[in-house]
Amino acid sequence: MTPPIETFKTDGPGLPDSDAATFVTTMAHALGTYGTPAHRMEDALETVSDRLGIEGQFFAMPTAVFAALRVPPGRPQTSLIRVHPGEVHLERLVQLDEILVDVAEKKIDPGEGTRRIDAAIATPDRYGPVLTIFCLAVASGCAGRFFGGGVNEILGAGIAGLMIGLLGLFAAHRRDFARLIDFLCGFVISFGAIAASRFTSNVSPEILTIAGLVVFFPGLTLTMAVNELATRNLVAGTARLMSALTVLVSIGFGVGLGTKLAEIALPPASGEQQFSSLPGWTLYLAIMISGVALSVLFRARPKDIPAIVLSGLIAFFGASYGHDQLGPELGACVGAAAMGLYANIYSRVARRPAAVPAMVGVMLLVPGSLSFRSISSFLAHDAVSGLETAFTTILIAMSLVVGFLLSNVAVPPRRAL
């Protein structure tokens, strides 16, 4: 069904055609729901409005889109489209991109485009809750390897991801509980990590906590916020930045409370801790496996998974090379530029949105764990370390954005999405 749109009309001739206006506003709602950045959304909507003979001006934010539409020389019709941001859904993004192209190229009329948007949104998700929860566990387990953990940390992080998935499933239809999900996950995972380290001497509670919570860290949101700020979408970028900060603080409070209660309630660790290590080739295996798991979590189509996994490998090797040659901050820029070039080339060749392969690559580059460590330092009253880590986080996020912008200059993407 077409989402409800609150509209304020002006009297006079030249109001936009109802089908065209409905299509544009419905598309704006759908793009906002599935996590499209403000600058990309505005570019896409302006392009299709121009093709439909409408003068369109758009102001996109994470929770709302203002659209002023008019057919010259008439007066504008201004609409407020309320958006409830959902999770990234790459298959829906591909479908919306196809609809945008078909309407812009006059292959279908705007009315048919609106019906296709409604049909796409109404289609059930390809992946059910069981597979989604399993992939959460796999992604968390792979993160345990990324952070230097051994077999015990990988298994523990996988169990943590499974618990997070079950909590998320329980909270899906309980609004008040869902608002506490970040805090509760931080509390449960930190308490469990401390408990595991107290009863098993060869488990790192820090690795277990960070790897278990990695799917909740708003590193992607933080990078999108800096990207929007860099493209002068100041309101959208600021709102998204504060959203990321709110999530981080909520997780941090949960971790702090869980850690304190575990230290009080549980007996001290017995014996000296000994951590195992794994051979280097397991890191590359973890990258490929996590690419498949993240493809499911981002709701990508199965035929797009090989391109997504390759994107993750390019991002990792590019960032590793840049790290060795230029340091961690500039290394992120090299990884982002390499992955952005690949995504834009893929977009041109496969005629798909560049975001399809890029999203997983971004997830492997974003500084989510660093931002969490910054909040943890503040909670531990270590302001100097907290400020230093926070500055490093922002610097790496900006480095990623610069890499993406450089790749767009070198190889412009096929279309706005």
Does the pLDDT value for residue 213 go beyond 90?
A: no
Q: Does residue 260 sit in the same domain as residue 356?
A: no
Q: Does residue 398 sit in the same domain as residue 374?
A: yes
pLDDT of residue 14: 42
pLDDT tens per residue across span 162-182: 999 998 888 877 888 888 898
Q: Give the side-chain half-sphere CA count within 13 A for 63.
A: 5
Q: Does residue 156 sit in the same domain as residue 272?
A: yes
pLDDT of residue 303: 93
Q: Give the side-chain half-sphere CA count within 13 A for 35.
A: 20
User: pTM to 2 decimals?
Assistant: 0.85
Look at the chain and report how many structural domains it folds into: 3
Segment 189-193 shows an average pLDDT of: 91
Does the pLDDT value for residue 222 go beyond 60?
A: yes
Does 288 reside within a domain?
no
Does 292 reside within a domain?
no
SS (H, E, C) 200-222: CCCCCHHHHHHHHHCCCCCHHHH
Segment 262-285 shows an average pLDDT of: 77
Q: Does residue 200 sit in the same domain as residue 338?
A: no
Q: Does residue 145 sit in the same domain as residue 251?
A: yes
Does 367 reside within a domain?
yes
Phi, psi for residue 232 in degrees, rounded to 5 = 70, 20
- Given a contact cutoff of 8 angstroms between Cβ atoms, the answer to whether 337 and 359 are in contact is no
- Given a contact cutoff of 8 angstroms between Cβ atoms, the answer to whether 213 and 191 are in contact is no
Q: Does residue 26 sit in the same domain as residue 170?
A: no
pLDDT of residue 5: 40
Q: Between 90-104 and 38-51, two packed helices, what is the crossing angle to 10 degrees? A: 30
pLDDT tens per residue across span 342-355: 999 999 898 889 88
Q: What contacts 202, CB < 8 A, 6 or more positions away?
A: 150, 152, 273, 274, 275, 276
Q: Does residue 150 sit in the same domain as residue 95?
A: no
Does 246 reside within a domain?
yes
Q: Does residue 15 sit in the same domain as residue 144?
A: no
Q: Which domain holds residue 271?
A: 127-280
Task: Choose one of 251, 280, 309: the last residue of a domain.
Answer: 280
Task: Choose one of 95, 122, 149: the last residue of a domain.
Answer: 122
Task: Choose one of 122, 142, 160: the last residue of a domain.
Answer: 122
Residue 153 host element (H or E): helix 151-171
Does 351 reside within a domain?
yes
- Given a contact cutoff of 8 angstroms between Cβ atoms, the answer to whether 215 and 87 are in contact is no
User: Strand 64-70 vs strand 6-8: parallel, antiparallel, or unpaired?
Assistant: unpaired
In the chain, the N- to C-terminal Cα span, in Å, equals 23
pLDDT tens per residue across span 66-91: 999 887 767 778 888 998 877 789 99
Does 291 reside within a domain?
no
Q: Does residue 112 sit in the same domain as residue 136?
A: no
Segment 209-219 shows an average pLDDT of: 83
Q: Nearest Cα to 311, choosing from 332, 333, 334, 342? A: 342
Does 92 reside within a domain?
yes
- Given a contact cutoff of 8 angstroms between Cβ atoms, the answer to whether 196 and 156 are in contact is yes
The rounded distance, in Å, linking the Cα atoms of 319 and 336 is 7
Q: Does residue 177 sit in the same domain as residue 260?
A: yes
Segment 379-392 shows an average pLDDT of: 66
Q: Does residue 163 sit in the same domain as residue 261?
A: yes
Structure token digits, residue 211: 């790897």
Q: Nearest Cα to 309, choosing from 285, 335, 282, 345? A: 285
pLDDT tens per residue across span 93-144: 999 999 999 999 889 999 999 999 999 999 998 999 999 999 999 999 998 8
Segment 286-298 shows an average pLDDT of: 92
pLDDT of residue 401: 86
Local confidence band at 272 (pLDDT 50, 70, 90 cut-offs)? low
Q: Does residue 392 sit in the same domain as residue 270?
A: no
The label of the residue with tokens 């591909």 reads 94
DSSP code, position 13: S
